[in-house]
Every structure is written in structure tokens, then in C-alpha cells.
Structure 1
Amino acid sequence: MRVLLQQDETANVFAKQMLDIGNNKIAVDTSTEFITLPTDFCHITDSKVELIQRNFPDIAQKFNNHNWLAERAILAAKNKDVEDLNATIQNFLPGQLVSFRSVDTVMNQDDVINYPTEFLNSLESTGLPPHNLQLKVGSVVNMLRNINQPFTMQWNKTACEKTDE
């Protein structure tokens, strides 16, 4: 979508390369069973800090510029990697970390014995923030899902039934 809206040719090339990788159109080296990325695909870094500094130079001064931030991203395959990168990026920002903890009680008091507070706090569900979310004032937070939708989509059973035509 960003490629189409901004008509950015380098983003278009990158998007095509990503699609080629996802669609198995990149040859696999039979000895290693790895693919060889195109030379213009990415820059290799030696550390997480170097990766952050290369993608977000001078982040301590520019983190409030949302247009600047919108032009940058680090892609990670696992949520754990994202959490580690976010924690490291927080260290580059000025200010003190503030902890935001989730609600740690059950609705029905009869369930307290089945779901102790420690258990509830240990749950790490995809799509939900951790129990103890630590942020600095001015940190950007992306909302990935609208949980307060203005309408509810309903499934139309008759539209999905098989017909004998």
C-alpha cells in the first residue's frame, strides 16, 4: 500500500523482492539450503545496537518527529526479537521509564483459586502488551487492532451455503 501511495521506486523493488522470497522464487543453495539475498536487499550489521543506530540515527533528538519515524522500520520474525529491540530503543530515548501494569484480578472471585495473580501476570498473549509494559514519555505506540469498532460484522450463513447449480 505504501509503495502505491508514495510511488517510491526503491520501496517497489524491495516489495517485489519480499514477494519473490515469500513465493519461493529465489533459488535455494543446495549445500546450505539457504537463499542468497540480492546485493541491494539490505545492509548487514554486526549488532542490535548498530542496526538501531543505522535505521534510527539521532533517535534521541528525532523521536518526536512522526514523519521521520514513519519512514523507518525494523522487521523481526519473532515477538521476542521485537520486544528486545523495543527495550533497546527505549534506552536511546531521554527520560525515565514508566511502568504500565495490566489489571491482575479475575471477574468472578470464585476463580481466584484457579487463576492466581502470578499466573495471570505471566501470560504473554500475541497481540496483547506484556503485563509490565515499560515506556518513556513520548514513546510511539502502534495500535495494531481496533478493539472498539463502530459496528459488528455478522456472518451471513445463507450467502456461504453450497448450492446445486
Structure 2
Amino acid sequence: MVVGATINSSYLWRNCKVLRLTKNLRLQSLASNKDRQTVDWFSRWIADRDGITGFVNNGLFEIDILPRFMLKCGTNPIATIVESIFPTANYGMLEESHLEGRAILSPTLDVVDQINQYMCDMNTAEGRTYLSCDSLCKAESDDDNLSQVHTPEFLNGLRLSGLPNHSLTIKVGAPVMLLRNIEHSLGLCNVQVPT
């Protein structure tokens, strides 16, 4: 919103032309006509909400979401989300092809951790836990004050986007996505599997 307001207020705005995406390229990759119609309808529904629809409520906007887009939540909302996105995960049949084109978006890192833990617990294989380094590099500082401020408990408690947690448990058969492409020649990178 801030960027949009800034651009609209700029003297350059009168020289800009607003373009809107009108063709959904994802439709071309879908095999069945029913899937194409569903995705086409959904993309038009999203496009109709470009800008803000609904009404303003103390600076917030309310948008009505159709009931067909909402999940009926049981006692465990995490289980409801996971089973909706990955229906075969319960049966231990989660394969690479089941992961393609599916994702769970989360508003906070806490929910990400809950979802990851739930899915990890579904895998009955034995896991191995890896811990991060929990001390400061002595070469970067001659002052011992930093080690008193940055205690191992503090360092182990850091939870940031793009940085793995202190304790990471990995199980055989669990999908792993690297945060960065580390070493292509050793295969330590996220690659698209050729079809």
C-alpha cells in the first residue's frame, strides 16, 4: 500500500501505463478441461479483487471469501491444513510428485514450526537431530562482553526467517529444501528434477 501510494503520488506516474495480466499461463499445463475451468474461474475471482474490494474498517479492509475456499476445521487446524494440501501424507506415500505445485503458506514462523513438526511426526522413520553452533567466534572480538550478552541460550533461541532453528531433526524419506544453494558440484542445491 505504501509503495502504491508513493508511486501514484510521483510526478512520474502520469508517464506510466498500468498493465494487467489477462492470461493465466498455468492453464496451459493442466491436462483436464475441468481443472482448467476451475483454475480459470479462480484466477478471474482473484483478479476481480485487484485493488481492494469490501469496505474499510479502521484502516483495514474486509474481503468476503467464498465458503468453497474455506476448510472445515476439526479439533486440530494444523492437521486439517496438512491433510487438505497433502492428502496422501497420512498413508506414508508422500512422493516427490505429490509435492509439486503444493505449498502451505503461513503467517508466522511459529505456525511454520508447528506444521513442520506435525509432518515430521507423521514420518515413522528414525530421525537424527543436528544442533547449530552455539558460541561466538573469538577471532571477531577481543571483548568478552559479547559472550556475556550472547549466551548459548540466547543464540539457541533465535528463530529467524532464512535461518534454520537450533535443533533440526531429519528423517529418512522426509523432503529437505536447502535455504541456499551451497555446492552445485556436490548436489547441495535445490534443483528441478527433469521430467
> What's the counterpart of residue 130 of structure 1?
165
Of 26, 29, 47, 1:6 maps to 29
Q: Distance in 2 between matches of 1:107 and 1:147?
A: 21
Of 36, 58, 68, 2:88 maps to 58
- The corresponding residue for 2:103 is 73
Cα distance between partner residues in 2 of 1:90 and 1:2: 34
Matched, 1:120 2:155: yes
**Percent of pairs with identical residues:** 26
Q: Looking at both structures, which has the greater relative contact order when contacts are Cα pairs under 8 Å and sequence separation is at least 6?
A: 1
Q: Identify which range, 79-88 or 33-42, moves more after superposition.
A: 33-42
Aligned to 1:157: none
In the other structure, the counterpart of 2:4 is: none
Gapped regions of structure 2 (runs ≥ 5):
1-23, 185-195
Checking the alignment, whether the CA contact within 8 Å between 1:3 and 1:12 is kept in structure 2 is no
TM-score by length of 1: 0.68
1:89-122: CA deviations, max 9, x gaps?
1111121232111122222164434422222112
SS in 2 for 1:141: coil
Are the equivalent residues in 2 in contact too, given 1:14–1:41 (CA < 8 A)? no
Tell me how far apart the structure 2 counterparts of residues 105 and 3 of structure 1 sit (CA, whole Å). Answer: 47
- The alpha-carbon deviation at position 84 of structure 1 amounts to 0.6
Task: State how far apart, in whole Å, the 2-side matches of 1:144 and 1:2 are.
Answer: 28
- Equivalent pair of 1:28/1:36 in contact (CA under 8 Å): no
SS at match of 2:69: coil
Q: Compute the RMSD of aligned alpha carbons.
A: 3.2
